[in-house]
Copies of this chain bind each other. A is one copy, B any other.
Amino acid sequence: PRSYTIAVIPGDGIGLEVMPPALRCLEAAATRFGFKLEFRSFPWASCTYYLKHGTMLPSDWKELLQACDAIYFGAVGDPATVPDHISLWGSILAFRREFDQYINLRPCRLIPGVTSPLANRAGKPIDFFTVRENTEGEYSSIGGMIFEGTERETVIQNTVFTRVGVDRVIRYAFELARSRPAKKLTSATKSNGISITMPYWDQRVEEIAKEYPDVQVEKYHIDILCAHFVQRPHTFDVVVGSNLFGDILSDLGPACTGTIGIAPSANLNPSSRREDPNTPWFPSLFEPVHGSAPDIAGQGIANPVGMIWAGQMMLEHLGEKNAADAMMRAIETVLGRAKDGAGGGLNILTPDMQGKGTTEELGSAIEQEI
């Protein structure tokens, strides 16, 4: 049977709590659809590990992860004990950079049973993807300070757009748009204010658009695009943006559908092939959008749906389309039913969804539905 090795990194806080039920959901899907999953669990890329060892990662982290087909990541961070720049740049941001996971893909969708904060949205389907550049741009880390401690103190940071980096994310977004019924691509820009990098982005979008005459393209400045996410989210199909703009839009979109607590995030290197002996293997990483949430950690009430949905994206990426579809249906069925008062009703939803259930209860309900 088909078989996949999965690196499992629970991380910190609620990452440790949502991981076990999510693994059970994945196992249920594997059993039902006849493939095998081998989980390799790693305690590092966590603040707990850092506080013991003084580093976020062991020296052989790359080899350990490259021996796997995909990385399944919980959440990292505990600002009370470890500064963010150590915990994040020593884990998730290092993985994105080192494994060249140049696509960050996030679905934005109305889910049955989840209440959107927007009025009058109930009837209109919202279903789009944000495609974010995930390795360069505004997250370059180059720059510095001059005249420190004086009135002239000046701090500069470079935004770096490379042809390779910009083209591949735009092309990925066009391919995704082409594969969907609406075939529409929205590009986020700010070329009227950010006058060097953003006009370049626009120019690459225009150039690559010529290869996709079947895809409808539009561009909006990030300020008004954010406003449109609130005003007419149902009109978007695929939205592409730089590292920073994609970051903003991929939180704002799910906020508009009410799914920010349960949204998943795929950090993809779509060109790396494990079977190709001539290039290094760079596995992709799947994580919930939410963080480690120190404020509710340890109470067993974290919502496991983001972690499970991230697993769903992982199965889809591994080629297990039927299993992925079944997982998505299970999530939608359980949440929809609960809101209707059936299947345990509010008792199985976690408190963030106005329920009284636990991580375990909600996770088990989805597992059984798979």
Q: Identify which of B153, B158, B223, B224 contacts A163 (C-beta below 8 A).
A: B153
Known: A118-B119, A161-B155, A255-B230. A247 touches B193 (CB 8 A): yes
Q: Is the CB of B223 within 8 A of A155?
A: no
Q: Is the CB of B85 within 8 A of A199?
A: yes
Q: Is A248 an interface residue (CB 8 A)?
A: yes
Known: A84-B191, A156-B160. A145 touches B255 (CB 8 A): no
* Residue of A152, A197, A250, A254 with highest tally of chain B CB at under 10 A: A197
Known: A223-B248, A248-B248. A192 touches B84 (CB 8 A): yes
Q: Is A157 an interface residue (CB 8 A)?
A: yes
Q: How far is the CA of A160 from the CA of B153 in the complex (A)?
A: 11
Q: Which of A160-206 contact B (CB under 8 A)?
A: 160-164, 190-197, 199-200
Q: Is A151 an interface residue (CB 8 A)?
A: yes
* Residue of A145, A194, A254 with highest tally of chain B CB at under 10 A: A194
Q: Identify which of B85, B138, B153, B193 contacts A162 (C-beta below 8 A).
A: B153
Q: Identify which of B88, B117, B196, B250 contacts A119 (C-beta below 8 A).
A: B117
SS class, residues of chain A in contact with chain B: mixed
Q: How far is the CA of A199 from the CA of B243 in the complex (A)?
A: 18
Q: Is the CB of B118 within 8 A of A194?
A: no
Q: Is the CB of A164 within 8 A of B141?
A: no
Q: Is A222 an interface residue (CB 8 A)?
A: yes
Q: How far is the CA of A199 from the CA of B230 in the complex (A)?
A: 29
Known: A119-B117, A224-B251. A85 touches B230 (CB 8 A): no
Q: How large is the interface on A (under 10, 10 to 19, 20 to 34, 35 or more residues)?
A: 35 or more
Q: How far is the CA of A18 from the CA of B277 in the complex (A)?
A: 66
Q: Is the CB of A163 within 8 A of B159?
A: no
Q: Is the CB of A194 within 8 A of B138?
A: yes
Q: Is A93 an interface residue (CB 8 A)?
A: yes
Known: A119-B119, A227-B260. A156 touches B196 (CB 8 A): yes
Q: Which residues of B contact A39 (CB under 8 A)?
A: none
How far in angstroms is the closest Cβ of chain B from A200? 4
Q: Is A231 an interface residue (CB 8 A)?
A: yes
Contacts A144-B196, A226-B252 aside, 11 further interface pairs with beta carbons under 8 A come to A142-B196, A143-B197, A145-B196, A150-B163, A151-B163, A155-B162, A156-B197, A157-B195, A223-B248, A223-B251, A227-B252
Residues of A within 8 A of B (CB): 84-85, 88-89, 93, 116-120, 138-139, 141-145, 150-164, 190-197, 199-200, 222-224, 226-228, 230-231, 243-244, 247-248, 250-252, 254-256, 260
Pull 21 A–B residue pairs with CB atoms less than 8 Å apart, ordered by A.
Answer: A84-B191, A85-B195, A117-B118, A118-B119, A119-B120, A151-B164, A152-B162, A155-B162, A155-B196, A155-B197, A155-B200, A157-B158, A157-B194, A157-B195, A193-B244, A194-B244, A223-B250, A226-B248, A227-B255, A228-B255, A231-B260
